[in-house]
Chain A
């Protein structure tokens, strides 16, 4: 496909070029937003996992504390 050099092409009028420029910037922000949404999902998964571990650790600590209290009791 033979295209003329960019310098020889006429500039698009503002109302015509505006939609392309807006499209390009929207693409950038859409990419960032999609990435942030994926990040948010991953963070909430990590939070759940951490909560699960915390519950497990607390569950384990409770009987140990009871045993200690029983030992310390006269």
Chain B
């Protein structure tokens, strides 16, 4: 099945274009980021206990929330893939997890910077929130090696979906377990947002929106590039097939004409 056929909407009967709406989304993201930064540095008051250091909160916490939600979303898309067997859901699940991993790296680094400023240590092993997030990150860090260790595209997509579902279920369980833990030092955010002064709550909400929009935009970019590459490869294959049918000399001898091992991965599926 070629890429175009795979991404066809069963009901509408037209080709899905991942790039549509990308421009509007990108502009909204840039605007939201600019507004969020303006609010963080010129509107939100300084926190009494942590002072200026608390400004990290507006980037660290939204990054963590969006990364964890992205992992769960990846699991939900994987369920959809196993239900429908449509490759586009596998690709979406892959992209959601891939992007969440990048956001999780951002969370860990910004969290470490905050910990150094606040606690004087880059990392505190006795802190359940930090360690649990690291465990989630390491769990998902095995997703890609697992995925690309399997050659058969069908099995690759199936196993990756099963992994995404199991790991996606682990994320909220892990979150609840940490919340139930009484001995913590890490400041609570979600339970105490209502206690935040309105200016801080507004700034936090806008920052969360900006980071969520950034996540959505980058996912859309990634999907668009992957989909375009799959379509190009399908086009190349069909052109080559036509040339060999015509018996044209030199067919398949041009630069990049021979399909690479990556190109043999079924279109619409993420290639390593």
Contact = CB atoms under 8 A, between A and B. Distances in A.
Contacts of B175: none
Given A14-B51, A52-B255, A24 B185 contact: no
Interface residues of B, number: 47
Given A14-B51, A14-B52, A46-B232, A57 B121 contact: no
Contacts of B50: 6, 9, 11-12
Contact of B228 (A24, A35, A46): A46
Given A3-B119, A12-B51, A50-B232, A24 B56 contact: yes
Contacts, number: 108
A53 B239 contact: yes
A53 B225 CA distance: 17
Nearest to A11: B51
Interface in A14-41: 14, 16-18, 20-21, 23-25, 27-28, 31-32, 35, 39
Contact of B49 (A3, A11, A14, A43): A11
Interface of A: 1-7, 9, 11-14, 16-18, 20-21, 23-25, 27-28, 31-32, 35, 39, 42-43, 46, 49-50, 52-53, 56-57, 60
Interface of B: 37, 47-53, 55-56, 59-60, 63, 102, 105-106, 109-110, 113-114, 116-119, 121, 124-127, 185-187, 214, 218, 221, 225, 228-229, 232, 235-236, 239, 243, 248, 254-256
